[in-house]
């Protein structure tokens, strides 16, 4: 593996206006991710774009920043429309836009998704919002009612286009493309490039520039063991402290995504008594060298770094690399973990993955040609006994340094306090700084919650039903929902998560009475009778809907189909 880093592109090189650059700097973004470095100049130049990218690559900023650069805030009209498959993603994109537009006074964005009231949405659209982020179903409703205007639309972005097509929204997407003015600039992002996505691009886009991330950095990193700990975002710090108690860490590099995060985490670790410092691109070359030097000499044990700042770092003592945040691409991951296992020593690379990020693991496994071992978070008991044995080891080595003076002290203290020896030892422990953690309660960290997709909240209180017909019959969620609305007399927003299998489909619905079940049983879609019946979740399985697990890598290359799920 080579350590010579390619010249790094800066945000300032991409042609973004000052208010956006300022926002990025206050968010602590250091350098553009690969997809951003390619997509931003293309979109700023007015070209249509077809981007193969998935969550985690920084794709949201890749389209959000050029969109914002083109918004005329003084014009109170919808100038950009962004379509996303789920409510969750719509909200995330809207929030990201707000963050990046923090220095654009008067800027407004609205998220439109199913299951929420129409009235406030009408009002907001009437007042005029600059950007609308919508799920296709709700957007179609608004188009039907004429509440959304397309005259000033400058951008149309499809995010996770493959997911929207999978959900059966091809016709709705066509209708949107036909509705926007001819000159509207279009960007389509998709994690995979199935024929359906290509067809949309061919039909509606002007010679789009195609961007895909290069993958396949296969390096052999023989001296490094890789592990993954599944942990939700707000338990990462606790998980890290625990990790430091159970792993034999000599020195550790912790990778985070932003400069701000590197400072914050280093401070919090210092506050917890660790010898930690930040290493990021804001530090002068001299300060950076100082940090590295202190790490080499053992004056520091933990360095919290951003990717750029830690490039090429070569310190033998580094026994562990912690990916506190996942990197944006597999190449960065390989660079990161290569900071350990140097000079023939063995090293451990640990990855914190949130449930949402679980699916990215196989990309990293491919890039490194190794398995990443899943690791359970150490239990409270393991932590307690770890602390106890460390103290026992310290006491044993201290015994060599005790002598007559210490013994005299003990007898004086026993006399002065009138305690017996055990009471005295307990009292000493209670005031010994290093032993404080021994009496602190240790709780088990909660397991990371299952991933929430758009619509999950609606599934609470719903019952799972099974219908005949699945992927093999080209059953799509939309006709199914239409049939449930028409024949089951359900409201669209009452329908929860839908999971397609090969020959059948699971759908979360309010409990249906016998008459409704009978009405639905004979309804046919694509020549298959639904034969709907209740389908309780098996014991031990979460009652939440199973998460969708698209099998694709960072660069969006489709993977061979997963083994059929037993259900």
**In terms of CB distance, is 260 or 505 closer to ligand AMP?**
260
**In terms of CB distance, is 30 or 301 closer to ligand AMP?**
30
Q: Cα separation of 279 and 30, whole Å?
A: 12
**In terms of CB distance, is 14 or 462 closer to ligand AMP?**
14
Least separation in angstroms between CB 260 and ligand AMP: 9
Beta carbons within 8 Å of 183's beta carbon, 6+ residues apart: 154
Least separation in angstroms between CB 148 and ligand AMP: 25
459: closest CA among 545, 356, 541? 545
Least separation in angstroms between CB 549 and ligand AMP: 17
Distances (CA, A) of 55 to 28, 40, 59, 159, 332: 19, 17, 7, 10, 16
Tokens for 328, please give them: 């944006």
CA dihedral (517, 523, 527, 531) in degrees, to 10, reads 10
- Residues, the chain, total? 567
**In terms of CB distance, is 256 or 276 closer to ligand AMP?**
256
Q: Which helix (H) or strand (E) holds 279?
A: strand 276-279
Q: Cα separation of 334 and 216, whole Å?
A: 11
Least separation in angstroms between CB 36 and ligand AMP: 6
Q: Give the binding site for ligand AMP (CB under 6 A).
A: 29-30, 32-33, 36, 55-61, 257-258
**In terms of CB distance, is 301 or 307 closer to ligand AMP?**
307
Q: Cα separation of 135 and 126, whole Å?
A: 19
Q: Cα separation of 345 and 369, whole Å?
A: 19
**In terms of CB distance, is 41 or 58 closer to ligand AMP?**
58
Least separation in angstroms between CB 273 and ligand AMP: 28
**In terms of CB distance, is 57 or 184 closer to ligand AMP?**
57
Helical H segments across 272-403, by residue range: 285-296, 307-310, 330-337, 361-368, 380-399
Least separation in angstroms between CB 337 and ligand AMP: 19
**In terms of CB distance, is 61 or 97 closer to ligand AMP?**
61
- Other C-beta atoms lying within 10 Å of the C-beta of residue 11: 20
Least separation in angstroms between CB 237 and ligand AMP: 17
Spell out a b/e string for 40-51, using b for 16 or more CB atoms within 10 Å of the CB, else e.
bbbbbeebbbbb
Least separation in angstroms between CB 428 and ligand AMP: 48
Q: Cα separation of 544 and 524, whole Å?
A: 27
Place of tokens 């537009």: 101
**In terms of CB distance, is 309 or 525 closer to ligand AMP?**
309
Beta carbons within 8 Å of 200's beta carbon, 6+ residues apart: 158, 161, 165, 170, 173, 174, 177, 188
Least separation in angstroms between CB 510 and ligand AMP: 33
């Amino acid at each position: 593996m080579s350590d010579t880093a390619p010249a790094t592109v800066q945000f300032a090189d991409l042609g973004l206006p000052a208010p956006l650059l300022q926002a990025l700097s206050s968010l602590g973004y250091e350098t553009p991710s690969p997809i951003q470095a390619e997509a931003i100049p293309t979109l700023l130049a007015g070209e249509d774009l077809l981007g193969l990218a998935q969550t985690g690559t920084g794709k949201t900023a890749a389209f959000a920043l050029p969109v914002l650069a083109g918004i005329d805030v003084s014009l109170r009209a919808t100038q950009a429309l962004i379509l996303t498959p789920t409510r969750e993603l719509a909200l995330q994109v809207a929030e990201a836009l707000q963050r990046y537009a923090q220095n654009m006074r008067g800027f407004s964005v609205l998220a439109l998704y199913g299951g929420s009231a129409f009235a406030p949405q009408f009002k907001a659209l009437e007042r005029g919002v600059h950007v609308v982020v919508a799920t296709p179903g709700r957007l179609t409703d608004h188009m039907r009612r004429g509440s959304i205007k397309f005259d000033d639309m400058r951008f149309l972005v499809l995010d996770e286009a493959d997911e929207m097509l999978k959900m059966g929204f091809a016709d709705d997407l066509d209708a949107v493309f036909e509705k926007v003015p001819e000159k509207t600039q279009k960007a389509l992002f998709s994690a995979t490039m199935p024929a359906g996505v290509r067809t949309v691009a061919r039909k509606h886009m002007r010679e789009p520039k195609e961007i895909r991330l290069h993958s396949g950095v296969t390096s052999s990193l023989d001296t490094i063991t890789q592990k993954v700990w599944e942990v939700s975002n707000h338990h990462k710090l606790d998980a890290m402290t625990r990790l430091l108690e159970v792993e034999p860490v000599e020195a550790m590099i912790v990778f985070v995504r932003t400069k701000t995060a590197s400072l914050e985490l280093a401070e919090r670790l210092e506050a917890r008594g660790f010898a930690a410092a930040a290493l990021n691109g804001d530090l002068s070359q001299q300060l950076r060298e100082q940090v590295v030097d202190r790490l080499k000499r053992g004056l520091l044990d933990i360095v919290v770094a951003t990717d750029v700042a830690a490039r090429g770092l070569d310190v033998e003592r580094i026994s562990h690399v912690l990916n506190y945040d996942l990197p944006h691409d597999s190449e960065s991951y390989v660079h990161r973990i290569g900071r350990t296992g140097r000079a023939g020593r063995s090293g451990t690379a640990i990855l914190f993955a949130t449930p949402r990020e679980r699916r990215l693991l196989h990309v990293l496994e491919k890039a490194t040609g190794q398995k990443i071992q899943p690791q359970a978070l150490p239990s409270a008991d393991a932590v307690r006994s770890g602390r106890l044995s460390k103290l026992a080891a310290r006491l044993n080595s201290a015994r060599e340094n005790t002598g007559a003076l210490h013994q005299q002290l003990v007898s004086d203290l026993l006399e002065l306090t009138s305690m017996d020896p055990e009471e005295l030892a307990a009292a000493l422990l209670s005031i010994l700084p290093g032993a404080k953690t021994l009496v602190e309660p240790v709780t088990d960290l909660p397991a990371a919650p299952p991933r929430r997709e758009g619509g999950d909240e609606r599934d609470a209180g719903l019952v799972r039903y099974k219908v005949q017909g699945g992927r093999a019959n080209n059953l799509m969620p939309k006709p199914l929902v239409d049939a449930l609305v028409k024949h089951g007399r359900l409201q669209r927003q009452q329908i929860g998560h839908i999971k397609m299998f090969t020959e059948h489909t699971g759908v979360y619905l309010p409990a249906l009475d016998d008459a409704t079940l009978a009405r639905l049983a004979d309804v046919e879609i694509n020549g298959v009778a639904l034969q709907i019946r209740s389908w309780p979740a098996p014991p031990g399985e979460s009652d939440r809907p199973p998460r969708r697990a698209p099998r694709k890598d960072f660069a969006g290359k489709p993977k061979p189909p997963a083994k059929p799920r037993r259900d």
